[in-house]
């Protein structure tokens, strides 16, 4: 009836729904609602008692606007077509708003450009206040896509004698291809593997007794990570373990030391999901398996959130 122009709200108010959402509730004058029953030519009987999901015969009186989801998806597809970029659109269950982001490549639209196009779109403009441009997860998606470029990054994982102990196994995978660049047990010297650590990763003192010490593996570790961003699921942990072993070996850490050379996949994944808690990796707690599980997290983040749209189709 409102869409037909027969009645308008006398007032509105915001009502909280759940923990983080509010909805707008319309209030109508009772006299206006009663007056609808006297509208000439309206078959009110046919409109009563309809089965759930059945279209109302009253729809013919209203020029119904397309639903918000269809409008946002159409705008996202148009953005992809106009600029030749990938676009991601996600309906956040936390805020109830749509979140929109896109690739930032040469000649790609800026956020200001997209905002102007949104305002100029006759249908999407009415939902502009309900569409978030450039959400936090969008930047992480673009970072992940960059890290998956050939030769750009490597994924590292260590298994240790104890929490922040000495390395007993280390693996490095090429982030783009998953190829193993390093995967070896490590002799921790006079340090014994604690019962707790052995219960987690299953590596025993006997298994590492004949392995090479860390100082013999360090040159290869440097070689396969040189010129790359070093990704680790818990970068603070693995970086600390590696630097302590480098120090014990009396060697220089070189590019393994700067924090800017490391990228924490666990923190990025939490931010991408919008959660504030530790996220279990589930890689089996062996170095190569954990590397691959962490790489899959990177791949997941690179796909963006919600619907993906590309030039010429969705």
Question: Cβ distance 178 to 252 under 8 Å?
Answer: no
Residue-wise pLDDT for 213-245, tens only, equals 999 999 999 999 999 999 999 999 999 999 999
Per-residue pLDDT, 17: 80
Per-residue pLDDT, 214: 97
β partners of residue 156: 172
Percentage of the chain exceeding pLDDT 90 = 66
Q: What residues in the chain have per-residue pLDDT under 50? A: none
| Superfamily of the domain at 145-302 | Ribonuclease H-like superfamily/Ribonuclease H (3.30.420.10)
Question: Cβ distance 279 to 159 under 8 Å?
Answer: no
Determine the 3-state secondary structure of 189 from DSSP. Answer: coil
Per-residue pLDDT, 312: 82
Per-residue pLDDT, 301: 95
Domain ranges of the chain: 68-134, 145-302
Residue-wise pLDDT for 147-206, tens only, equals 999 999 999 999 999 999 999 999 999 999 999 999 999 999 999 999 999 999 999 999
pTM over 0.85: no
């Amino acid at each position: 009836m409102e869409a037909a122009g027969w009645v308008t709200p006398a007032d509105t108010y915001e009502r909280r729904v759940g923990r983080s959402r509010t909805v707008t509730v319309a209030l109508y004058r009772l006299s206006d609602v009663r007056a609808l029953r006297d509208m000439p030519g309206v078959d009110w009987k046919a409109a009563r008692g309809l089965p759930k999901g059945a279209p109302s015969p009253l729809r013919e009186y209203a020029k119904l606007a397309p639903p918000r989801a269809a409008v946002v998806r159409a705008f996202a597809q148009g953005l992809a077509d106009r600029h030749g970029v990938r676009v991601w659109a996600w309906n956040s269950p936390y805020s109830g708003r749509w979140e929109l982001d896109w690739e930032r490549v040469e000649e790609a639209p800026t956020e200001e450009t997209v905002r102007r196009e949104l305002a100029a779109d006759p249908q999407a403009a009415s939902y502009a206040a309900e569409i978030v441009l450039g959400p936090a997860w969008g930047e992480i998606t673009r970072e992940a896509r960059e890290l998956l470029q050939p030769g750009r990054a490597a994924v590292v994982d260590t298994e240790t004698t104890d929490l922040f102990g000495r390395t007993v196994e280390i693996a490095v995978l090429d982030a783009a291809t998953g190829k193993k660049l390093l995967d070896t047990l490590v002799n921790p010297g006079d340090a014994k593997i604690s019962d707790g650590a052995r219960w987690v990763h299953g590596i025993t003192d006997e298994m590492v007794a004949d392995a090479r010490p860390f100082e013999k593996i360090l040159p290869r570790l440097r070689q396969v990570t040189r010129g790359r961003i070093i990704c680790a699921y818990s970068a603070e942990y693995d970086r600390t373990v590696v630097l302590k072993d480098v120090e014990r070996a009396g060697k220089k850490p070189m590019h393994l030391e700067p924090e800017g050379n490391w990228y924490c996949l666990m923190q990025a994944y939490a931010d991408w999901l919008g959660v504030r808690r530790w996220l279990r990796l589930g890689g089996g707690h062996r170095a190569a398996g954990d590397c691959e599980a962490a790489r899959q997290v990177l791949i997941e983040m690179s796909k963006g959130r919600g619907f993906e749209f590309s030039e010429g189709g969705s």
